[in-house]
Structures are given as structure tokens and as C-alpha cells.
Amino acid sequence: MNILLCTDNNYVQHCAATIASVLCNNSNVSVFIFSTDISEENKHLLQAMVDSSKAKIQFIHIENELISDFPMSSEASNHISVATYFRLFVETKLPKSVDKVIYLDSDIIVRQSLNVLWNTPIEDFALGAVYQYNEWAVSNGTFRRLNYPENFGYFNAGVLLINLDYWRENNVSNRLLNYIRGNFEHIISHDQDTLNAVLYNEIFPLSCKWNLLPFFLEENLDQYTFPRFLNYKDQVKKELVDPTVLHFVFKPKPWESGCNHPWRKEYFNYLKFTPWNGWRPKFHLPSYIKYIFWPNILKLRRNIIQIFTN
């Protein structure tokens, strides 16, 4: 089983937690890491962690000039960097011997085996992915902006089963890069927009169990519709009891104070199998509490100083 992640030094701890969660629940794993700047120290840490699980890891350098001018929208969250585009180079950067790979974002925790996903037949498709609900994409004008029919839906690119043979035979990477060059003004969600705009009719729809997005946890899921007659609503009922793949899409993330995701502790359950075992986020008072109480804190501080200086 081949697993691909893209990271930089700022996100390597969370990448490690994702890798650990894969290794704890799967065997015969080969991990590939795309990065431009990951330090030798961090490489050694990840190497030792993977070696202890008898898996394999390979670091593949992505040249800065390949992605330096890619569009980063003003709407991007501060946890998103240009590294998000690395996955578009799978066709050319992974060894020719690799014909299929599971791509995972580094804010994902895998709680069960990925064997069923890995063995999903996608010979006639560029990749397999899990779809977001139609209303989200319609309300923000995604289909109009990316210029393709809304009946194809919009998938989330956090978990992808990528058919590299298909990519090489159909020149997919060049198609993606050409789209970026010609559509800077249309791209908001970076590589995810690019993948949807170019490959919308070459996608195999996956069960939501392989990418449990936060909105699947909402009580009012019945109000949403999904493309291609996907039966996500029935699948979600099973996943709420024992999730397979958790994707912490929104902020705050589990490693940030204030996260209220019901499965946030799973991040720390797997972090303990990494070199960052024991790490916990620093607690920060919400800004509105500071606003209310800070004047009184300052007043008390002044009174204490007066008592000891008089």
C-alpha cells in the first residue's frame, strides 16, 4: 500500500500523527513525503518512526520554482501553504514503479484498515474521492466559477485514491498545470479547485467513510443533497459510531485550543506514537474574555504594586 503526504517544517508534527495512524492500522505500507524544505532533523525523526513500524519511507523534493507563482487566495486559512499544490506532481515525481497511491492531508487520522479503499477498482478513472454536499458549492458559485456542470458535484481533495497509470496515459499533470496558468482569477481553493475543474467527469465517487468531513456530523444532514445519487446519509449513520477516516478540515484543529470536534482526542491518541508524544496546545483565553476581564486584572495589579511599594 502506497501512501503520499505533502508537508513542510511547520506541519511535520501533524503529518507524523497522520502517518502513525496509518501504520497502527495497516501493514506493508510505503510512505512518500513531498516537500521543499523539510529539515534533516525532521526527516530523521520521521524515518525512525516509520522504521520502528517496519514500513518504508521516501522523501521526494519538490523544487520551489515549480509552485512559487501558484495562486494563494486571500481567503486561504493560515494553515494552508503553497505545499497544498505538491500533490499535482504525483505523475512525474513518484517512481514509475508506483501505479497507485492514497493521498492524505496532514489533518487526517486513520482509525481502521485502508485495505478496502486501496483495493477499490478505479482502472477507468483518474482518482477516487469523497464529495461535499451540492448546496455548499451552489451557494458560493463554485460551479459557475470553475465552469463545469453542477450535476458532477464537487469533491474534497483531502483523501484521494490516485490512479497513476491513468494520469500518465492521459497527461493529467500537464492538464492541471495548464489550467492553473490560464485560470488564476478563478482559483480559490487551490489544488482542490484545480482537480475538480479539470477532472470533474473522470472521478470515481468513494464512500464517505474514507473522508469523514465535519459537516457529515451535523444533525441536519438530511437537508443536504449529494451528486450521483450518493447514499452518504446512510453511510454516515455507521461512521458516527466508529469512524474510519477523520478529516479535521476546519479551524480550530485538534492541536489548537478551542477545538470542539467530538473526535479531537484521536489526534493525541496517535500523536503518542510519534516523536512529539506528550505535546499539548497552550491554552489561550478567548479574546472576548480578555476584553471583559483585562481592565480589572490591570487594576488589581496596580493595587498590589501600591501595597508593596508604600
CATH of the domain at 129: 3.90.550.10
The one-digit pLDDT tens for each residue of the chain (310 residues) are: 999 999 999 999 999 999 999 999 999 999 999 998 899 999 999 999 999 999 999 999 988 777 665 656 555 444 455 667 788 999 999 999 999 999 999 999 999 999 999 999 999 999 999 999 888 788 878 889 999 999 999 999 999 999 999 999 999 999 999 998 888 888 888 889 999 999 999 999 999 999 999 989 887 888 888 887 788 888 898 898 999 999 999 889 999 988 999 999 999 999 999 999 988 887 655 544 444 455 565 556 566 656 655 5
307 within domain boundaries: no
- Domain coverage including residue 209: 2-283
166 within domain boundaries: yes
In terms of Cβ atoms closer than 10 Å to its own Cβ (0-12, 13-18, 19+), residue 280 is exposed
Q: Would you give the distance in Å from CA 132 to the centre of its chain?
A: 14
298 within domain boundaries: no
CB 156, CB 247: distance < 8 Å = yes
Q: Considering the entire predicted model, what is its pTM?
A: 0.86
Cell 482542490 -> residue: 192
293 within domain boundaries: no
As for how many domains the chain has, the answer is 1
299 within domain boundaries: no
297 within domain boundaries: no
289 within domain boundaries: no
**Which strands sit side by side in the sheet containing 56-61, from one edge to the other?**
56-61, 30-35, 2-6, 100-104, 155-163, 127-131, 203-205
CB 23, CB 53: distance < 8 Å = yes
